[in-house]
C-alpha cells in the first residue's frame, strides 16, 4: 500500500527511507525500546559487581559475598544475553517485513511504468534493484531504532558510571570519541562515492547476464562465445576495481575505529595505573575501568557498522527509487466510480506521437471506426502500424491531438477502463510460467479482480474454454499435450478408463492401423523394438535397468549368460560393427547414412577401432571392454529399423524364451524394477498415448501418424473421454516464458485468452505472424464470422491475402495515413496498397 499524506497517495519512489521505520512496525518498535532499556540497565550491573568482588569479597576474604556477587553476576550476564537474542529476533522481523513491503510496492510501481521506460532498461536492472539493492535499506530499517538506542544508552550509562568512579579518568576515557566522530565521516564520503559506482556497475553486469541468457540462441548459432566473454570480462574487471576501492575505504573505517578503541586501554593503564600507585584509585575501580573500556568497544563498533549500513542503505535506496521515479501516464482505477462500459466506436483526430528525441512515429492521424467494424492497418515496416494500435490501447501516450473511445478521451481513461473494454494480442505474446489453463484464463481473471481464481466463483465451464481453444486452433495441441501426459499412480480413477480404451482401441481400429503400429504381445517378437526392449518387455522403474546403464548392471550381464544369449549377441554385434565400418568408412559422417545401423555418428571412430583390434580374434579372446561394446551394439539393434544385419530365427526364439526367464529372475532380484507390458495393466512411466496405443509406431510418415491420431480422437469421443483429456492437456506446464510451446502455439494461446475475455474492442498486432497459412485463414474466418459486429477489431496485418473481408483498410507510410478504403476500392485505386499487394503475390 502507498502511504497517504493529506488524502494524497505518495508513490513508493517518493517515500523517504525514514518513512519506513514506523510504517506498520509501531508495536514492535515500542517493544524493542522497552527491552533495550532493561538490557542496558542489566549490562551496567557486572561493572559494579567486578569492583565489589575485588574490594569486598576478595580483599576482605568473605566467601559468602564472593558466592553472592558471582551469582548475581552470572544472572546478569545470562539475562543480558537472552534479551539481546530477543532484540535480534525483533530486528530481523522488522527488517524482513519492511524489505518485503519495499519489494512489493516497488514491483507494483514498476508494473505501471510506461513502456517507453523499458526500451532503455534491461530486465537485469529491474531484477537487481528489487532483489539485491533493497536488501541493505531493509536491513537498516530493522536497525534504525534498536542499534543507535541500545548502544548510545549503553555508552552514556557506562560513561556516567565511570565518571562517578573517577571523574578525571572517566573524561579521559571518552576524550577519543569526538576525534573519531570527525575522522570517520570523512572516509565514509569516499565509501558512498564508490558504492554508487558499484551499484551502477552491478546493474550493468546483471543486465549483461540477462541479455546473454535471453539471446543464447544467437550466441550459440553464431559461435559468438569469445565476443560475449570479452564483453562480460570487461564489465567484471571494472566492477572488481570499484569493489576493491570500495572495500579498501570500508576497511579504513574499521582500522581507524580499532586504533582509537585500542588506544583507550593505553590511557587507562598509564593514568589509572599512576593514580592506583598513588592510592587515589582502588584496584577494583581500576579493574572496572579496564572492563568498561573493553566493553565500550562493542557498542562503538556496532555504532560504526550501523553508520555504514545507514550510509550504504541511503545510497542504495535513493539510487534505486530515483531510477524508477517515472511518471505513470494513467491511473489504475478511479476511487469514485466503476470502470466505464465504453462504446465500440473509436475516433482519432490529428493524433501525433513523438519520442523524447523528437522522432515522429505518428503524424496527424485522422481515423473513424464504427462499433463492430473490422479495420486492418497495413504498410511497410516502420510505417507506424503498431504505434497506432498501441496508442489506442493506451500502451503509448500520444503527444498531441485527440483519440476517443465512444465519447471518452483515451489519455484520460483509467487502466481499468481500458482493460475492461479491450483485448490485445501482440506479435510476440508473453506466456507466463504455469499451465495452459492459467495462461488461458489470465485476461479473464484480471478482468474480474484479485478474488478471481481458477477454481473460485469466476471459474468457467469447460465448454467455454473448449470453444475458444477451437476458435484459436489450439484445441488439437491441447489434446496432444493431454495424450503425452504421464499421470501419477494416485490418479486411480483414470487408470481403469484408459485400460478399457486400450482394449477398445485394438478391437475397433487394430486392423486399420496394423501396418503402422506393432502392438505389444508377450508371445511375439517386436521387430520395431530393439533387442533390450524385447528381452525386458516392460518399462524400467529403476535407473540400473535403463538402456544406458545395462552394461554396468551385473545382474543383467549374468542373465545374458544364463539365458544363452551372450554369445549370439556378441556374434550379432560383431557383424553389425564389421558391416557398418566397411560400408561407411569412406562416407561423410552424416546421420542420414547411419539410420540403417545402431551405431551413432559420434561412435563411429570407437567402433572402427574395435573392428581393427578384434580382427582375426575369436569371441572368447575378446577383452572385457570390447565385449561390452559389441553387446551394447547388439542390444540396440532393431530389425525393423536397422537393415545393416539380419537376426536369425533361432535367436528370436532365444529372446522370447529369455523374456519369460528374465521376468522370473527379476522378481527375485527386485520386485518392482520393471513394469511389464500386460494388456490389463497400466504403465505408469509411459504417457497416456502410449498406454492406449500399447505398441510401437512403425512409421515416420506424418500423414500416417495423423491417421493414428484421428482414430485415437474418435475413440476418445466414443468413450466420452474427450473432455477429460482436454482438462488433462490444459494442466500442461508451458515452461519459463512458454518455452515448451512453439511460436505458433504461443500466438494461438494469446488469441484464445483474448477471445475468452470477449472484449468490446480487440487489437491484434500481427497476432498470427507465426502461424502457417491454414491456421491464419482459420483465425481470420473465425474473426469474420463470429466476431464481426460483436467486437470492434483493429488488426495490424502483414499478409494482405487475409484482409479482403475487412470493413476498412488503412495504409500507413512514415507515420501518416496515405490510403484508406475497402479492399476492392484500394485495389482499383492502384496506389500504395495495390503495389504492396502485388509484391506479396
pLDDT of amino acid 221: 63
Residue at grid coordinates 474466418: 781
The C-alpha atoms of residue 716 and residue 718 are separated, in whole angstroms, by 6
Residue 118: what pLDDT? 80
Is the four-CA dihedral 813, 814, 818, 821 of positive or negative sign? Answer: positive
Q: Binning pLDDT at 50, 70 and 90, where does residue 450 land?
A: low
**Mean pLDDT value across residues 69-91:** 86
Range of 120-134, 207-221, 254-268, 531-545 with top mean pLDDT: 531-545
Question: Rounded distance, CA 587 to CA 608, Å?
Answer: 13
Question: Would you state the torsion angle of the CA atoms of residues 312, 314, 319, 321, taken in this order, to the nearest 10 degrees?
Answer: 140
> Look-up: residue for cell 478408463?
497
Q: For residue 393, which of 109, 114, 780 has the smallest C-alpha distance?
A: 114
pLDDT at 284 over 70: no
Number of neighbouring beta carbons within 10 Å of residue 162: 24
Residues 119 and 116: their CA atoms lie apart, in Å, by 5
User: How far is 434 from 175, CA to CA, in rounded Å?
Assistant: 64
- Binning pLDDT at 50, 70 and 90, where does residue 7 land? very low
Cell numbers for 477: 495441441
CA separation for the pair 714, 230 (Å, rounded): 57
pLDDT at 237 over 60: yes
Torsion of CA 78, 80, 82, 86, to 10 degrees: 180
In 758-822, which residue ranges form alpha helices assigned H by DSSP? 773-782
Is the pLDDT at 747 greater than 90? The verdict is yes
- Grade residue 45 by pLDDT with cuts at 50, 70 and 90: confident
| Residue 422 and residue 762 in contact, taking contact as beta carbons nearer than 8 Å | yes
Beta carbons within 10 angstroms of residue 468's beta carbon? 24
Instruction: Report the SS3 class of residue 731.
Output: coil
CB under 8 Å, gap of 24 or more: what pairs does 77-81 form? 77/46, 79/42, 80/39, 80/42, 80/43
Instruction: Tell me the mean pLDDT in the region 135-164.
Output: 81
Torsion angle (degrees, nearest 10) of CA 493, 498, 499, 502: 170
Does 839 have pLDDT greater than 70? Answer: no
Pick left, alpha or beta for residue 814 (phi over 0 → left; psi -120 to 50 → alpha; otherwise beta).
left
State the average pLDDT for the chain: 85
Residue 352: what pLDDT? 94
pLDDT above 90: percentage of residues in the chain: 29
- Grid cell for residue 487: 499421470
C-alpha to C-alpha distance for 332 and 326, rounded to whole angstroms: 15
CA–CA separation, 575 and 78 (whole Å)? 82
User: Rounded to whole angstroms, what are the CA distances from 803 to 733, 779, 780, 807, 824?
Assistant: 35, 12, 9, 9, 11
Winning range, highest mean pLDDT, from 81-90, 229-238, 620-629, 813-822 = 813-822
Task: Summarize pLDDT for 176-197 with one digit per residue, the tens.
Answer: 667 776 777 778 778 878 887 8
Q: Which residues contact 541 (CB under 8 A, 6 or more apart)?
A: 672, 673, 674, 675, 685
Q: How far apart are alpha carbons 391 and 764 in whole angstroms?
A: 13
Q: Is the pLDDT reported for residue 550 higher than 80? A: yes
Host H or E run for residue 225: helix 225-267
The answer to whether the CB of 586 falls within 8 A of the CB of 654 is: no
Q: Is the pLDDT of residue 456 over 70?
A: no
- Other Cβ atoms within 10 Å of 662 Cβ, number: 23
- pLDDT score, position 802: 85
Terminal Cα-to-Cα distance of the chain (whole angstroms): 56
Cell 549370439, residue?
A: 568
Please, is 687 exposed, middle or buried when counting C-beta atoms within 10 Å of its C-beta (0-12, 13-18, 19+)?
middle
Average pLDDT of span 499-518: 91
Integer Cα distance of 88 and 248 in angstroms: 28
Q: Which residue has the cell 521515479?
A: 325
400, 818 in Cβ contact below 8 A? no
The number of helix segments (H) and strand segments (E) in the chain equals: 32, 16
Q: From residue 786, how far is each of 52, 463, 749, 783 by CA, in Å? A: 95, 16, 18, 6
Indicate the pTM of the whole model: 0.74
Contact present, 630 and 577 (Cβ < 8 Å): yes
Average pLDDT over residues 310-316: 83
State the DSSP code for 818: E
Cα dihedral across residues 387, 389, 394, 397: positive or negative:
positive
Give the SS3 label for residue 348. strand
Measure CA 474 to chain center: 25
Lowest mean pLDDT among 239-248, 564-573, 748-757: 239-248
Strand partners, 762: 423, 793
Per-residue H/E/C for 403-462: EEECCEEHHHCCHHHHHHHEEEECCCCCCCCCEHHHHHCHHHHHHCCCCCCCCCCCCCCH
- In 330-353, which positions are buried (b, 16+ CB within 10 angstroms) versus exposed (e)? beeeeeeeebbebbbbbbbeebbb
State yes or no: pLDDT of 527 exceeds 90: yes
Residue 672: strand, helix, or coil: coil
Query: What distance in Å separates the CA atoms of residue 262 and residue 297, rounded to the nearest whole number?
Result: 8
Separation in Å, CA 378 to CA 297, 691, 738, 750, 821: 74, 49, 29, 21, 12
The residues, any chain, with a CB within 8 Å of residue 486's CB and separated by 6 or more, are 684, 685, 686, 687, 688
Residue 29 near residue 22, CB atoms below 8 Å: yes
* pLDDT band, residue 125 (cuts 50/70/90): confident
684 pLDDT above the threshold of 70: yes
Cell of 279: 592510592
d(C-alpha 377, C-alpha 798), whole Å = 9
Residue 283: the pLDDT is 66
| 773 close to 814: Cβ distance less than 8 angstroms | no
Amino acid at each position: 500500500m502507498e502511504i497517504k499524506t493529506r488524502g494524497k497517495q505518495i508513490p513508493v519512489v517518493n517515500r523517504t527511507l525514514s518513512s519506513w521505520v514506523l510504517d506498520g512496525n509501531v508495536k514492535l518498535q515500542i517493544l524493542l525500546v522497552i527491552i533495550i532499556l532493561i538490557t542496558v540497565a542489566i549490562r551496567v550491573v557486572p561493572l559494579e559487581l567486578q569492583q565489589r568482588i575485588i574490594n569486598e569479597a576478595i580483599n576482605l576474604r568473605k566467601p559468602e559475598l564472593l558466592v553472592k556477587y558471582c551469582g548475581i553476576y552470572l544472572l546478569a550476564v545470562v539475562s543480558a544475553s537472552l534479551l539481546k537474542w530477543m532484540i535480534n529476533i525483533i530486528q530481523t522481523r522488522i527488517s524482513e517485513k519492511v524489505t518485503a513491503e519495499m519489494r512489493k510496492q516497488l514491483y507494483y510501481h514498476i508494473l505501471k511504468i510506461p513502456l517507453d521506460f523499458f526500451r532503455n532498461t534491461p530486465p537485469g536492472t529491474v531484477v537487481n534493484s528489487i532483489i539485491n539493492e533493497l536488501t541493505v535499506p531493509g536491513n537498516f530499517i530493522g536497525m534504525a531504532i534498536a542499534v543507535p538506542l541500545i548502544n548510545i544508552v549503553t555508552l552514556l550509562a557506562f560513561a556516567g558510571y565511570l565518571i562517578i568512579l573517577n571523574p578525571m579518568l572517566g573524561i579521559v576515557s571518552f576524550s577519543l570519541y569526538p576525534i573519531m566522530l570527525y575522522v570517520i565521516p570523512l572516509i565514509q564520503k569516499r565509501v558512498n562515492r564508490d558504492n554508487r559506482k558499484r551499484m551502477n556497475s552491478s546493474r550493468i553486469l546483471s543486465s549483461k547476464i540477462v541479455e546473454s541468457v535471453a539471446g543464447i540462441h544467437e550466441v550459440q548459432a553464431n559461435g559468438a562465445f569469445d565476443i560475449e566473454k570479452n564483453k562480460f570480462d570487461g564489465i567484471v574487471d571494472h566492477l572488481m576495481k570499484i569493489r576493491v576501492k570500495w572495500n579498501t575505504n570500508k576497511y579504513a573505517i574499521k582500522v581507524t575505529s580499532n586504533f582509537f578503541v585500542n588506544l583507550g586501554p593505553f590511557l587507562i593503564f598509564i593514568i589509572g595505573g599512576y593514580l592506583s600507585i598513588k592510592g587515589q584509585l582502588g584496584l577494583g575501580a581500576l579493574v572496572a575501568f579496564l572492563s568498561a573500556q573493553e566493553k565500550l568497544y562493542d557498542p562503538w563498533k556496532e555504532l560504526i557498522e550501523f553508520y555504514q549500513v545507514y550510509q550504504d542503505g541511503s545510497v542504495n535506496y535513493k539510487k534505486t527509487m530515483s531510477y524508477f521515479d517515472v511518471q505513470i501516464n494513467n491511473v489504475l482505477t478511479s476511487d469514485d466510480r466503476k470502470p466505464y462500459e465504453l462504446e465500440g466506436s473509436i475516433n482519432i483526430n490529428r493524433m501525433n506521437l513523438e519520442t523524447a528525441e523528437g522522432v515522429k512515429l505518428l503524424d496527424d492521424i485522422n481515423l473513424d471506426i464504427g462499433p463492430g467494424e473490422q479495420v486492418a492497418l497495413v504498410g511497410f515496416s516502420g510505417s507506424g502500424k503498431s504505434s497506432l494500435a498501441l496508442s489506442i490501447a493506451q500502451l503509448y501516450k500520444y503527444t498531441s491531438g485527440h483519440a476517443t473511445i465512444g465519447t471518452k478521451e483515451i489519455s484520460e481513461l483509467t487502466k481499468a477502463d481500458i482493460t475492461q473494454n479491450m483485448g490485445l494480442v501482440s506479435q510476440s505474446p508473453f506466456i507466463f510460467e504455469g499451465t495452459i489453463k492459467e495462461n488461458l484464463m489470465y485476461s479473464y481473471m484480471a478482468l474480474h479482480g484479485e478474488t478471481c481464481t481458477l477454481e473460485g466463483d469466476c471459474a468457467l465451464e469447460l465448454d467455454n474454454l473448449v470453444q475458444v481453444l477451437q476458435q484459436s486452433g489450439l484445441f488439437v495441441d491441447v489434446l496432444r499435450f493431454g495424450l503425452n501426459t504421464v499421470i501419477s499412480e494416485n490418479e486411480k480413477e483414470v487408470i481403469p478408463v484408459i485400460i478399457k480404451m486400450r482394449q477398445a482401441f485394438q478391437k475397433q481400429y487394430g486392423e486399420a492401423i496394423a501396418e503402422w503400429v506393432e502392438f505389444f504381445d508377450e508371445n511375439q517378437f517386436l521387430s520395431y523394438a530393439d533387442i533390450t526392449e524385447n528381452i525386458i518387455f516392460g518399462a524400467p522403474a529403476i535407473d540400473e535397468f535403463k538402456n544406458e546403464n545395462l552394461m554396468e548392471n551385473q545382474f543383467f550381464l549374468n542373465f545374458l549368460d544364463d539365458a544363452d544369449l551372450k554369445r549370439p549377441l556378441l556374434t550379432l554385434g560383431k557383424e553389425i560393427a564389421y558391416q557398418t565400418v566397411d560400408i561407411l568408412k569412406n562416407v561423410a559422417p552424416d546421420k542420414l547414412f547411419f539410420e540403417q545401423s545402431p551405431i551413432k555418428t559420434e561412435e563411429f571412430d570407437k567402433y572402427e577401432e574395435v573392428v581393427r583390434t578384434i580382427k582375426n580374434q575369436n569371441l572368447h579372446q575378446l577383452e572385457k571392454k570390447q565385449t561390452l561394446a559389441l553387446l551394447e551394439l547388439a542390444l540396440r539393434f532393431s530389425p525393423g529399423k536397422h537393415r545393416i544385419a539380419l537376426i536369425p530365427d533361432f535367436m528370436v526364439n532365444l529372446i522370447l524364451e529369455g523374456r519369460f526367464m528374465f521376468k522370473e529372475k527379476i522378481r527375485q532380484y527386485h520386485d518392482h524394477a520393471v513394469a511389464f507390458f500386460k494388456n490389463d495393466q497400466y504403465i505408469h512411466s509411459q504417457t497416456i498415448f502410449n498406454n492406449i496405443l500399447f505398441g510401437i509406431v512403425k512409421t515416420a510418415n506424418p500423414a500416417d501418424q495423423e491417421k493414428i491420431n484421428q482414430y485415437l480422437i474418435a475413440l476418445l469421443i466414443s468413450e466420452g473421454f474427450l473432455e477429460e483429456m482436454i482438462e488433462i492437456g490444459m494442466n500442461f506446464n508451458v515452461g519459463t516464458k512458454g518455452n515448451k510451446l512453439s511460436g505458433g502455439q504461443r500466438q494461438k494461446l494469446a488469441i484464445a485468452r483474448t477471445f475468452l475475455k470477449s472484449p468490446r474492442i480487440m487489437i491484434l498486432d500481427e497476432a498470427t505472424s507465426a502461424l502457417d497459412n491454414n491456421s491464419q485463414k482459420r483465425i481470420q474466418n473465425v474473426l469474420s464470422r463470429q466476431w464481426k459486429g460483436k467486437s470492434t477489431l483493429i488488426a495490424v496485418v502483414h499478409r494482405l491475402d487475409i484482409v479482403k473481408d475487412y470493413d476498412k483498410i488503412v495504409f500507413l507510410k512514415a507515420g501518416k495515413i496515405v490510403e484508406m478504403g475497402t479492399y476492392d476500392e484500394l485495389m482499383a485505386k492502384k496506389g500504395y496498397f495495390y503495389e504492396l499487394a502485388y509484391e506479396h503475390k
